[in-house]
Amino acid sequence: MPKLHQSTIRFNLWKQLRSRDDSTVYSTTIGCTIGAYEVCRNATRVEHEWATFCLAQCGAVGLSDETDCAKDAKHLRAQCRAYRHINDWPGVLADMPRATRRLSHSEYLGAALSHRFCLVARGDLLSTHKIAETMAIGGAGGCLPVLVVPQSGVQSMLPYTRWLDYCSVAFILRESDAKTRLPALIDRLREVTADEAAAKHRALAAVRAAFVFREGSSPRRPCASEFVLDEACALARLWRTRSNRSAPLSIERCML
């Protein structure tokens, strides 16, 4: 869960999903990146607790880089601006313990393989490793990716857009829609038929090698290593021809 001055999308998704019995929502870091900023509600506390406000919650999840909570009170006040939009602090704080859970690797894979869909939104950065995770898991018959994309920069977020048709392997929705009407979009996912899901799984299985690493891979039997190198070579060829033009990513036709 990113801090809100870095990105608000995952917090918005959590708020809409936290009370639904058809969704699984966990975050190891929500107490640190959201809960600790409850201090922002009180200007006096900001002035006196800027160096310590996050120690308990961030230390509990092993975020050692959070040992200095803020450089000074001015720095914390600047971060607090992003938290002013939280108008239900008591409810948010009450729901955080239920969401705070660290899954083991096997538990995480088990959950992803047992759910129909996996919601993927950016974290601190525009892209996220969860894209590759869900593509690989979906290719193994697990959850189908539901990719939450920004209004701009989609091609920077999604890998392999030079050749991969994401409409064939995933469901796509805009961040602006996901922030405001996620329950309605989930209802639309309920309408996905078994045949439609099977088609997505077949398409994911066909490209799964591009998202997993495997010992003994080669250009004839490639894995992610070879695919990444191929992308780098394609970019180098574009640079040599001094062409920065690339085909636009066509995903509007498959937006939820």
DSSP assignment of 82-133: GGTT---HHHHHHHHHHH-----HHHHHHHHHHSSEEEE---SSSS-THHHH
Residue 160 — left, alpha, or beta (φ > 0 → left; ψ -120 to 50 → alpha)? left
Pair 191, 250 in one domain? yes
What pLDDT score does 151 carry?
A: 86
The answer to whether position 146 is within a domain reads yes
Contact 146, 120 (CB under 8 A): yes
Domain membership of residue 182 (yes or no) is yes
- Asked if residue 234 is part of any domain, the answer here is yes
Structure tokens, 161: 């857009």
How confident is the model at residue 156, as a pLDDT? 87
Q: Do both 95 and 171 map to the same domain?
A: no
**Are residues 160 and 112 part of one domain?**
yes
pLDDT at 155: 87
Q: What is the pLDDT of residue 67?
A: 53
Domain shared by 120 and 244, yes or no: yes
Put the strands of the sheet holding 117-120 in their side by side order: 117-120, 144-149, 171-174
Same domain, 163 and 145: yes
pLDDT tens digit string along 66-116? 556 899 999 999 999 999 999 999 999 999 999 998 889 999 999 999 999
Tell me whether residue 4 is in a domain: no
Beta strands (DSSP E) in 110-238 are 117-120, 144-149, 171-174
Final residue before a domain boundary, out of 72, 99, 126: 99
- Angle (CA) 63-42-83 rounded to 5° is 55
Look at residue 248 and tell me if it is in a domain: yes
The DSSP call for residue 172 is E
- Indicate whether 121 and 191 sit together in one domain: yes
Please check whether residue 1 lies inside any domain of the structure. no
According to DSSP, the residues that pair with 173 across neighbouring strands are 148
Last residue of a domain, one of 74, 99, 124: 99
Phi, psi of 199 (to 5 degrees): -65, -40
Q: Could you give phi then psi for residue 54, rounded to 5 degrees?
A: -105, -5
Residues 244 and 186 grouped into a single domain? yes
Whether residue 132 is contained in a domain is answered as yes
Task: For residues 72 and 135, state if they share a domain.
Answer: no
Number of domains in the chain: 2
The tokens for 123 are: 């974290």
Last residue of a domain, one of 50, 76, 99: 99
Residue 67 lies in a domain: yes
Tokens for 208, please give them. 């799964």
Q: Same domain for 168 and 212?
A: yes
In which domain, by residue range, is 160 found?
A: 105-254
Q: Are residues 113 and 232 in the same domain?
A: yes
Residues 139, 68 share a domain: no
- Please give the pLDDT value at position 246: 62
CATH number at residue 200: 3.40.50
Q: How many residues does the chain have?
A: 256
How many Cα atoms sit within 13 Å of 204 on the Cβ side? Answer: 26
pLDDT < 50 regions, the chain: none
90/115 same-domain check: no
* Nearest-angstrom CA–CA distance, 204 and 211: 10
Q: Beta strands 117-120 and 171-174: pairing type?
A: unpaired
